[in-house]
Amino acid sequence: MTQAQTEEFKAGLDGVIAGESKICLIDGDNRRLSYRGYNVADLVKYSSFEETAYLLIKGYLPTPDELSAFKKALIEARQIPTQILDILALVPVKTSPMDMFRTIISTLSQYDPEVDSNTPEANFNKAIRLIAQAPIIIAAYHRLRHKLKPIEAKKDPSSSLAANFLYMLTGEEADEYAQKVFDICLILHADHCFNASTFTARVTAATLSDMHSAVTSAIGALKGPLHGGANQEVMELLLKVNSLDNVDGYINKMFEEGKKIPGFGHRVYRNCEDPRATILRECSRELGIRNKNTKWFEISEAISQIVVKRAEEKKKPIYPNVDFYSASTYHVLGIDTQLFTPIFAMSRMAGWCAHIIEQHANNRLIRPQAHYLGEKDLNYLEISKR
């Protein structure tokens, strides 16, 4: 490695521009996140997850006809092969829903009619199928592992992906506000530029591998607790704290032990709160009030205050990220904690597919170098002499 290369090295690729994209812009200094130029704060107010998915994948907001055709295609794709249902029934119940999801998305490729085609048309069709199939797989496995029969997806054109997912979990129609909040969660998690899982998807796609392979790699990356896995860890923390009286003691101890607090800190939002957390805080608050269950929001707020304060004292500021208030929101919606990260994946599927399509459209193999720190020029020692 030359001196110049050594100087360029950034641990964790922090701040490194690793490619070009027109999909998502994060303006960390101004707490602004936009998809294809549209502020997510506007998308959560005026749009839907379906329209946002179209925007991410196609690059522009659809006309009414384009949106209804897209929604129709998504609803028609609300089915999984019976063989997949059979396989799901064989998955050991101890398998986490996230591990199941990675395996089943990979397996789904074997039933996809366009698996090996990377044309823009085939990729668009596959994106529709993956976005539509993901909620079915997650809901079906959840029910199977609780010894319940999976519920068939609704084909009613008025049933949004968000509403249908909540329905498939319980068999009951969620109320309008719950559907709206869940739709907002899906919009907010749909993309986030070159985050770890999306970058993973692009690395796989850049070898000209197929969409299912790229998405499968992305799911593996999302699972980790430093990335999407944090929302589950946030809920586990809330459940352990369990009371406002315990917050200070619990969080102070975590700081003293040098533990990371899940749901705080972000590589890109260094000096401010993640704008998605700001929106989700309001969802969590309002949902708690409507459902007469404000406990989890209140504990979250108390944790947030102490974490921000302690971190500021250390001169290492951290603020809530997207995973923090999504935990209390999903919990009050009645969703099982183990489904939190798969739900993240189900929403990010739109962003992953958009990035895979963009990568395939203007591809170059992604192949960085390493700063070599190992030994050099050693003499090989015969095994009997070691």
Would you count residue 113 as binding ligand ACO (CB under 6 A)? no
Q: Rounded to the nearest whole angstrom, what is the least distance from the CB of residue 201 to ligand ACO in the complex?
A: 14
360 in active site = no
34/197 with CB nearer ligand ACO = 197
Among positions 35, 182, 264, 296, the unique one binding ligand ACO when judged by CB under 6 A = 264
Q: Does the protein bind ligand ACO through residue 335 (CB under 6 A)?
A: no
| Pick from 244, 44, 252: nearest CA to 162 | 44
Among residues 150, 262, 288, 351, which is the contact residue for ligand ACO, using CB under 6 A? 262
Select the span of 66-74, 135-143, 166-174, 265-273 touching ligand ACO (CB under 6 A).
265-273
Tell me, residue by residue from 4 to 23, as one string, x for binding to ligand ACO by CB under 6 A and - for no binding. Answer: --------x-----------
User: Is residue 191 close enough to count as binding ligand ACO by CB under 6 A?
Assistant: no
Please write down the HEC assignment for all residues of the chain: CCHHHHHHCCHHHCCCCCCCCCCEEEEHHHCEEEECCEEHHHHHHHCCHHHHHHHHHHCCCCCHHHHHHHHHHHHHCCCCCHHHHHHHHHCCCCCCHHHHHHHHHHHHHHHCCCCCCCCHHHHHHHHHHHHHHHHHHHHHHHHHHCCCCCCCCCCCCCCCHHHHHHHHHHCCCCCHHHHHHHHHHHHHHCCCCCCHHHHHHHHHHCCCCCHHHHHHHHHHHHCCCCCCCHHHHHHHHHHHHCCHHHHHHHHHHHHHCCCCCCCECCCCCCCCCCHHHHHHHHHHHHHHHHCCCCHHHHHHHHHHHHHHHHHHHCCCCCCECHHHHHHHHHHHCCCCHHHHHHHHHHHHHHHHHHHHHHHHHCCCCCCCCCCCCCCCCCCCCCHHHC
Binds ligand ACO (CB under 6 A): choice among 263, 275, 288, 342: 263
Please say if 266 is a catalytic residue: yes
Q: How far is the CB of 96 from ligand ACO (least distance, A)?
A: 18
* AA letter at 358: E
**Cα 144 to Cα 135: distance, rounded to the nearest angstrom:** 14
Sheet holding 32-35, edge to edge: 24-27, 32-35, 38-39
Q: At what angle do helices 120-145 and 340-361 cross, to 10 degrees?
A: 170
Task: Point out which span in 48-56, 72-80, 131-139, 221-229 binds ligand ACO (CB under 6 A).
Answer: 221-229
Any contact of residue 316 with ligand ACO (CB under 6 A)? Answer: yes
**Binding flag, residue 261, ligand ACO (CB under 6 A):** yes
**266, 331, 355, 360: which is the annotated catalytic residue?**
266
> Shortest Cβ distance from residue 263 to ligand ACO (Å)?
5
- Residue placing its CB nearer to ligand ACO in the complex, 15 or 374: 15
323 in active site: yes
**Interface with ligand ACO, residue 273, by CB under 6 A:** no
The yes or no reply on residue 230 touching ligand ACO (CB under 6 A) is yes
Instruction: Determine which residue in the list 107, 151, 154, 267 makes contact with ligand ACO, applying CB under 6 A.
Output: 267
Residue number with CB closer to ligand ACO (284 or 321): 321
Shortest separation between residue 137's beta carbon and ligand ACO, angstroms: 21
Taking the complex as a whole, the smallest distance from the CB of residue 312 to ligand ACO amounts, in Å, to 11
Nearer to ligand ACO, 134 or 188 (CB): 188
Note whether 341 binds ligand ACO by CB under 6 A: no
The residues binding ligand ACO (CB under 6 A) are 12, 195, 226-228, 230, 260-267, 316, 318, 321-323
The catalytic site residues sit at: 227, 266, 323
